[in-house]
Amino acid sequence: MKNKVAIFIGSISDEEKMSPCSEVLSSLGIPHLFTVASAHRTPERVQRLIKELEEQGCKVFICAAGMAAHLAGAVAAKTIRPVIGVPLTASALGGMDALLATVQMPPGFPVGTVALDSGGARNAAWLAAQILALEDQEMAQKIRQARQKMIEGVEKAGADLESRFSKNPS
């Protein structure tokens, strides 16, 4: 099956923070590519991958990088498909540099930006799934079911906590 989503990380050191993205996509049955492609060190690879993936029908690109974090912008410059940026903490600036580099794109070249690190990685996958669900009712149903499980988990946790610590005055 062709990859519907591509995850590009700027460095192999970003794998741990971004693996939750791949895990969410896998849990939803979304075929995807997870690879290293650096905007600065391998710009030709980035360009080649975008072209190949688009030809194969890839719908969404997820890009994660720290520090200067130009990867998402470099991808957005080469595709009209949705690009989701995940800024990563990788310097003394605590990810602020990556966040600003990811969100401050010129008009006409948007990057949808999520939170930093593994939380952002998960939400990038969910956002990609929602984009795919626009044209895929089966995916929409999978998202609804997953959200229902989340709701049930919160309700169960609340009930468990209440039963252990709440006291009714007599």
Binding residues for substrate: 11, 14, 41
Measured from the Cβ of residue 110, the count of other Cβ atoms closer than 10 Å reads 15
Rounded CA-CA distance 62/71 in Å is 10
- E strand residue ranges, 10-136: 32-36, 60-66, 83-88, 112-113
**Owner of token pair 């709440």:** 166
**Owner of token pair 């209440």:** 162
Tokens of residue 10, six digits: 């700027």
Name the binding residues.
11, 14, 41
Single-letter amino acid code for the residue at 124: A
Rounded CA-CA distance 28/44 in Å is 31
- Cβ within 8 Å of residue 88, ≥6 positions away: 14, 17, 18, 64, 65, 66, 69, 95, 98, 116, 117
